[in-house]
Amino acid sequence: LPSSEPANAIKAIDRKSVHQICSGQVVLNLGTAVKELVENSLDAGATNLEIKLKDYGAELIEVSDNGSGVEEANFQGLTLKHYTSKIQEFSDLIHVETFGFRGEALSSLCALSDVTIFTCHKSAKVGTRLVFDHNGKITQKTPYPRQQGTTVSIQQLFYTLPVRHKEFQRNIKKEYGKMVQILQAYCIVSKGVRINCTNQIGQGKKSPVVSTTGSPNLKENIGAVFGQKQLQSLIPFVQLPPSEAVCEEYGLNTTNTPQNFYRITGFISRCDHGVGRSATDRQFFFINQRPCDPAKVSKLVNEVYHLYNKHQYPFVVLNICVDSECVDVNVTPDKRQILLQEEKLLLAILKTSLIEMFGRDVNKLDVNQKLLDIAGNLKRTLPEETEKPQVEVLPDSKTQNPSSHGSEIMTLARLRESFSLPQMTDSNLQSPKRVKRQHSYPRQLPSFYTTLSPVNSRKAALSKESESESKMPATSRYLRKLEDNTDSGFSSTSAESDVGYNMQEDESCSERATNSSSEEISNSKEELQNECLEIVGLSEKSLECDVQFLGTVHKLNQVEDWNNPKNLSQVASSSSPRKKYFKSKADDLKADLSSKEKNTKHHLANVDVLVEIKKKTVPLEFSMKVLAEKVKKVIQQQKKRTETQNYRRFKAKISPGENKVAEDELRKEISKEMFAKMEIIGQFNLGFIIAKLNSDLFIIDQHATDEKYNFEMLQQHTVLQGQKLIAPQNLNLTAVNETVLIENLEIFRKNGFDFVIDENAPVTQRVKLISLPTSKNWTFGPQDIDELIFMLSDCPGVMCRPSRVRQMFASRACRKSVMIGTALNIQEMKKLVTHMGEIEHPWNCPHGRPTMRHIVSLDLIS
C-alpha cells in the first residue's frame, strides 16, 4: 500500500559529514597513508626521507624530509580540501609530472587522525609547529627549531571511524606487509634519494624495515632493498620492436605502428628453475616513474615467463616511459590504475622482447656441425629439434639480416616468419583479411533466420496445441479453451506489442483458432454438463440457490459484432480484469451455458460473470479428537515424505571423475560427531571397512584413513630435530623478511631451523642460520626458509610447514599406517573410523586418494 507519510525532502549533507565520507575514500589503508606522505616529500625535492612507525603504524606514522619546506603564506591552505600548488585547472593534468595534484591527501588524513606538521622553509629563520583539527584548520601555531624540510606526524589513523579503526588494528600486520611492498616500489624508483624506514614496538628498540643509500642507479637500489643475492638472478630488459607474428596476434598493422612510442627499461629474473619466486610479491611496474598496477602488463609478463618456468614467478622491475599526454592517471583515488593510449602496442613490444630474452638461454642446443646441405642452404632439422623454442643454426643468406652476422641463434618464430611467404604460391595465396571475412559470413545468418522464426514457430505451436487438446477429456478441454480465449482475447494487444507480430497475421491466426474452439464448445455441451455433475457429486434436487446476473450478461446481449476486437475489449474493461468468479453448483453451470449459447452464437471469448449467491447456513459436526488424528496423520505423512527425500542425499558415483562432487556431498551431510556414531558392519576384501549410519552404508579405505590421521598428528606434534652447521650461514634476507623470521622464531624451531640473532649487525645481516632439519634421506635448505617466511607474512603466528616437510610427513605417515591386506577386528575398525572425526580434513589422504564414499541407502532397497 502507498505510504501516507510525506516524502523526505532532498537536502545538502553538512560539510563535516561530506568531509568524513570523502576522506574515507581517499585514504584506504596504512599503505595509502604512507604513500601520500612519501609522495609529498618527493614532490618537494627531498633527497633524504625518514619514515618512523610505532606499533606497525597503528599508533604513529611520521615522515621527515629535507625538501623545500612550506612557506608561512601557505600554512592555511596546506590541509584544506582541493588546495594544491601542482595544478590550477583541469587541462594542467596533461602535463603534470608530480605524484600528487588533487590536494586531497593531507585534508583526508586530518579527517581520519590527529595531524601535526613541523616545517621550515629556506627563507624562514626558524621552523614552525602546526596542529590541525579534523577539518584541516590550524588550532596551534608555535615556533619549532628544525632544519629545512617538513615532518608530518599522523597519530591514531582511522580512530574517527570506529568500525574501520577496529578492523585496522585487528589486521595491522597484514596492513603493514602491504605498506612495506608499496614503500619498496618508491625505494627502487627514487634515484638519488636516501629512504630509511624503521618500526618500534612499544618501548622496544627501533627495527629497520627498508633502507636505501641514495644511489642514482636503479640496479643498486634493487640491491639495497632486496640484497645482492637477488641481483645475481636478474637480467636487464632489452626492448625490441614487435614482430609480425605478435602484431597479427594483437591486431596491429606493422606499417602504421608508431615508432619509439614507448621506452621500457628495467630488470627481470632469469627463467632458470630455482631463480624465480613462489609468488608475485616482487613485481614492480612504473609508468613515467609512477608506481602502478597495470593488470594486463602483469598478466602478460607472468604468462610469457611460465612458458619457460611453469612453477615460479619472475622478479620484475619495469619502468615504461611515454609522453604525458598519452597517459591518464586520474582514474582511481590511489592513482594505481592508469589508462594508456596504444596499450596493444605496449603488450606486443613486451611479448616480443621477453620471448627473445628468455629464448636465448632456454633449451639451447649445442650442435657440433653447421646444419647445411651440400648447396649451402639451411638443412631441415629433426622433429625433436624443431619443437624446441631455440635451435642453433646458420641462417640462409637470403633471410639473414646484414646487421646481425655475429648472431647464429634464431627462434623458430623468426624462422617461420622468414620462410613462410616465399613458400606460398600465387594459386594458394590468401590474405588473412580475406579469411576473416569468409569466417564472418555465418555470424550474420542467425539474425536473418530470427526474422522468419516468429510466424513459423507460432504456426507450429498452434498445430501442436490442437493435437494435444484432441486427446483431453471434454471438461478439461472446454475449460482450457475458455482460459486460452480469455487470456489471448483480452491481452492480444499487449502480446502484439511485446512480440511484434504483424496485426493482420495475428488476426487471421486468432480467427482460425477461435472458430475451431467455438465448434468444439457447441459439440461438447451435453458431455460437459454430465461430467460437471459427476465431478461435483450432487443431484439437481439438492441444489437450491437464486442466481442473479448483475450487468455483465446484459452487456453481452448488447454486443452485436463479436468478430470486432474493439467490442471485446470494451466488455472486458467493464469488469475487473483477470478475476475469475467460479460457481460451485450444477444449476449455475447449466444456466450459464444456456444463456451464453443463446446470446453468443459466435463465441470468441469467455467473459467474467459477476455472481451473487444466497447461501443457507448448515450446522456441522466437529470433534477435536478427529482433528487431532488428522493432524497426526498429516505430520506422519510429511515425515515419511522427508525421509523419502533423504534417500537420495548422496548422488555422486564412485568414480575418479566425480571425486569433487562426492567430497562436497560428504562434507555437507557428514559432521565430525557422526563418525563416532557409525556402526561397523565388517571388513571387505581386507582393505575396506563397511560402516552404517542410520540407513546409509559407507565404504572406508582403511589405509588412506589411517594415513591421513597419522599425517595430521605428525603435522601438529612433531618437532623436527636440527643438524648444527659447522659455521653460521648468512641468509641475506631483506629487512622485512628478517622481521617476519624474528617474530616467528618458535615456528621455525618446530620445523628444525635455528638461528642466531645479532641485533647490532646491519640490516639484512642480523640473522644467521646455525641449524637445518634433517631426516634420513631428506635434506632442507634456505629455499625452505624463504617459503616459510612467505607463508607467515600472510598468516603470522599460525603453525605451518614447508612443502618438502609436508612431503616427508606424508611419506612417513604412509609407511606407519595400516596396509591393504591387513585383517582387522571390530575394535580396530571402530578406532580407525572414530579417528576420522578427530582430524581437520578427513576426506582425502595426503597423496590425494579418497578415504570414504557412500555406497547405498537401505531405505531404497527396502
The pLDDT tens digits for 531-544 are 444 444 443 433 34
Residue ranges in 333-472 assigned as alpha helix (H): 343-359, 383-386, 412-420, 432-440, 445-470
Q: Which grid coordinates are listed for 733?
A: 634476507
Nearest to 345 by CA among 238, 253, 237: 253
Architecture of the domain spanning 233-359: 2-Layer Sandwich (3.30)
Q: How far apart are the C-alpha atoms of 333 and 108, rounded to whole Å? A: 12
In this prediction, residues 608-635 reach a mean pLDDT of: 81
- Inform me whether the pLDDT recorded for 159 exceeds 50: yes
Long-range contacts made by residues 88-95, C-beta under 8 angstroms, separation at least 24?
93/329, 93/330, 94/324, 94/325, 95/324, 95/325
Interior CA angle at 372 toward 366 and 377, to 5°? 135
Long-range contacts made by residues 471-474, C-beta under 8 angstroms, separation at least 24?
473/531, 474/524, 474/527, 474/528, 474/531
Nearest to 67 by CA among 150, 144, 180: 150
Residues in contact with 477: Cβ distance below 8 Å, sequence separation at least 6, in sequence order: 469, 520, 524
Does the CA dihedral 426-431-434-436 come out positive or negative? Answer: positive
Does the CA dihedral 665-667-669-674 come out positive or negative? Answer: positive
Q: Which grid coordinates are listed for 221?
A: 637500489
Q: Which grid coordinates are listed for 152?
A: 608530518
Nearest to 105 by CA among 190, 25, 42: 25
What percent of the residues of the chain are helix, what percent strand, and what percent coil, each to the nearest 5?
45, 15, 40
- Inform me whether the pLDDT recorded for 671 exceeds 70: yes
554-563, 704-713, 754-763: range with highest mean pLDDT: 704-713
Q: How far apart are the C-alpha atoms of 161 and 153, rounded to whole Å? A: 19
CB crowding 441-469: b at 16 or more within 10 Å, else e: eeeeeeeeeeeeeeeeeeeeeeeeeeeeb
Eight-state DSSP code of residue 378: B
Cβ atoms of 842 and 705 within 8 Å: the answer is: yes
Cβ atoms of 755 and 770 within 8 Å: the answer is: yes
- Inform me whether the pLDDT recorded for 400 exceeds 50: no
pLDDT in tens, 694-740: 888 899 999 999 999 998 888 878 777 788 889 988 887 877 788 88
Q: How far apart are the C-alpha atoms of 283 and 318, rounded to whole Å? A: 9
Residue 776: half-sphere exposure toward Cβ, Cα within 13 Å: 5
Q: State residue 397's pLDDT score.
A: 37
Residue for grid cell 626458509: 785
Cβ atoms of 688 and 702 within 8 Å: the answer is: yes
Residue type, 38: V
Q: State residue 631's pLDDT score.
A: 93
114-123, 422-431, 487-496: range with highest mean pLDDT: 114-123
Query: Is CATH 3.30.565.10 the right assignment for the domain spanning 15-204?
Result: yes
pLDDT in tens, 270-315: 988 778 887 888 999 999 888 998 899 999 999 999 998 888 899 9
Long-range contacts made by residues 475-484, C-beta under 8 angstroms, separation at least 24?
475/528, 475/531, 475/532, 475/535, 477/520, 477/524, 478/520, 478/521, 478/524, 478/528, 481/517, 481/520, 481/521, 482/606, 483/606, 484/517
Nearest to 379 by CA among 390, 402, 395: 395
Q: How far apart are the C-alpha atoms of 474 and 476, rounded to whole Å? A: 6
**What share of the chain in percent tops pLDDT 70?**
65
Q: Which residues share a beta bridge with 205?
A: none
Quick one: three-class SS letters along 567-628?
HHHHHHHHCCCCCCCCCCCHHHHHHHHHHHHHHCCCCCCCCCCCEEECCCCCCCCCCHHHHH
Output the DSSP codes for 189-240.
Answer: H-TT-EEEEEEE-TTS--EEEEE----S-HHHHHHHHH-HHHHTTEEE----
- Inform me whether the pLDDT recorded for 490 exceeds 80: no
Eight-state DSSP code of residue 76: T
Cβ atoms of 722 and 774 within 8 Å: the answer is: yes
CA 664 to the chain's CA centroid: 21
- Inform me whether the pLDDT recorded for 418 exceeds 70: no
Q: State residue 510's pLDDT score.
A: 41
Interior CA angle at 565 toward 560 and 571, to 5°? 65
Residues in contact with 467: Cβ distance below 8 Å, sequence separation at least 6, in sequence order: none
CA 32 to the chain's CA centroid: 23
Rg of the chain taking only CA atoms, in angstroms: 41
In this prediction, residues 227-235 reach a mean pLDDT of: 87
Q: How confident is the model at residue 96 (pLDDT cuts 50, 70, 90)?
A: low
Structure-model confidence comparison of residues 793 and 741, the more confident one = 741
Q: How far apart are the C-alpha atoms of 765 and 775, rounded to whole Å? A: 29
Q: Strands 547-549 and 611-613: what pairing?
A: antiparallel
Identify the three-state secondary structure at position 253. Answer: coil
Neighbours of 705 (CB within 10 A): 27
Q: Strands 48-54 and 194-200: what pairing?
A: parallel
Cα-Cα-Cα-Cα torsion 552, 557, 560, 566, nearest 10 degrees, comes to: 0
Residues of each domain in the chain carrying CATH 3.30.230.10: 233-359
Domain topology for 651-862: formyl-coa transferase, domain 3 (3.30.1540)
Q: How confident is the model at residue 267 (pLDDT cuts 50, 70, 90)?
A: very high
Q: How far apart are the C-alpha atoms of 780 and 801, rounded to whole Å? A: 12
Structure-model confidence comparison of residues 482 and 78, the more confident one = 78
pLDDT in tens, 317-375: 999 999 888 888 767 777 788 888 888 999 999 999 999 998 876 554 444 434 434 33
- Inform me whether the pLDDT recorded for 767 exceeds 80: yes
Cβ atoms of 355 and 409 within 8 Å: the answer is: no
Q: How far apart are the C-alpha atoms of 224 and 215, rounded to whole Å? A: 9
Q: How far apart are the C-alpha atoms of 672 and 488, rounded to whole Å? A: 58
Q: Which grid coordinates are listed for 75?
A: 600554512
Residue for grid cell 620484475: 316
Residues of each domain in the chain carrying CATH 3.30.1540.20: 651-862
Cβ atoms of 331 and 337 within 8 Å: the answer is: yes
Q: State residue 436's pLDDT score.
A: 38
Residues of each domain in the chain carrying CATH 3.30.565.10: 15-204
pLDDT in tens, 10-66: 777 777 777 666 766 678 889 999 999 999 899 888 999 999 999 999 999 999 999
What average pLDDT is seen over the chain?
A: 72
Q: Find the range with the poorest average confidence among 101-110, 231-240, 594-603, 772-781.
A: 594-603
Q: How far apart are the C-alpha atoms of 688 and 690, rounded to whole Å? A: 7
Cβ atoms of 833 and 700 within 8 Å: the answer is: yes
- Inform me whether the pLDDT recorded for 498 exceeds 80: no
